[in-house]
Amino acid sequence: MEKGSEKPAIQMVIITGLSGAGKSQAIRALEDLGFFCVDNLPPNLLPKFGELIVHSKGKIAKIALVIDIRGGEFFDSLSDGLHQLGAQGIQCEILFLEASDEALIRRYKESRRRHPLSGDARIFDSIKLERQMLADLRGRADKVIDTSDLSAQQLKNQVFELFGKDARHSQLRITIISFGYKYGTPRDADLLMDVRFLPNPFYEPTLRHLTGNDEPVQEYVLSSPTTKVFMRKYYSLLRFLLPHYTKEGKSHLVVGIGCTGGKHRSVTLANRLAAALADEDYAITVKHRDIDKDRGGGEGT
């Protein structure tokens, strides 16, 4: 390399996770974003692939690879491969896709495909085994997406948000999700906050069928002295934590805020928290996972 020249920046994303969780849709989304994509790359070929990328001298700068249990001897060779890529100066982001057992079983029944680990085992047992095999890798992931309740288009949109050409990768991206505990916690959440201790609009007849996007509900929740103290303390905690996550190299943080049904309190506070953080140097996305569920009433939210 000539003096004064710069090494071309290489962006590599490794897509992995549970079989049936949407890895094929994710890599197609990255292909639409201009990534050079390879599906089912054997992990022991990672170092050789890295050499080809480096020798391309910038002609191939955005790469996405799907590596999963179909690659055989998965863990040892993948770990070694990632280490050798680092030695070549190529840093990777790991995108891990997962889904609930129920969602995966439903998808396998609908597609009538066999699980890669199935053999003579039941689908549920194969999913459980794969989840155990991938537990350490999930812990190493830079980004985790739970696709249980996502359509193919919604998954594509999330991939676009994370890796789109307009995304500022030096900036911490924060997704704030409101949810209802009676529908389960978001599997991809890094931080969870239970706000069921706050005054509940569900028990006010005029507010029950509204949501936290409606001003009357917001006024009810936010006017509580308990809410005011909580928001001040929680915002202070996040302002302390976020720079440390950034310092440790985390690029995407998922904050879950839950009430009973995910319709009133959690929606209100997710919106208010996003507004408070908007003045900071973060890219904020707000999602209300369960806001349209249980429109007929039901348990308090």
The annotated binding site is made up of 17-24, 68-71
Burial 231-270 (b: 16+ CB within 10 A, else e): beebeeebeeebeebbeeeebbbbbbbbbbbbbbbbbbbb
* Binding site listing for ATP: 17-24
Backbone φ, ψ for residue 55 (5° rounding): -70, -15
Nearby residues of 29 by Cβ (< 8 Å), 6 or more positions away: 155, 156, 159, 160
- Gap between the Cα atoms of 111 and 24, Å rounded: 14
* Tokens of residue 10, six digits: 């290489």
* Tokens of residue 100, six digits: 């609930």
* Binding site listing for GTP: 68-71
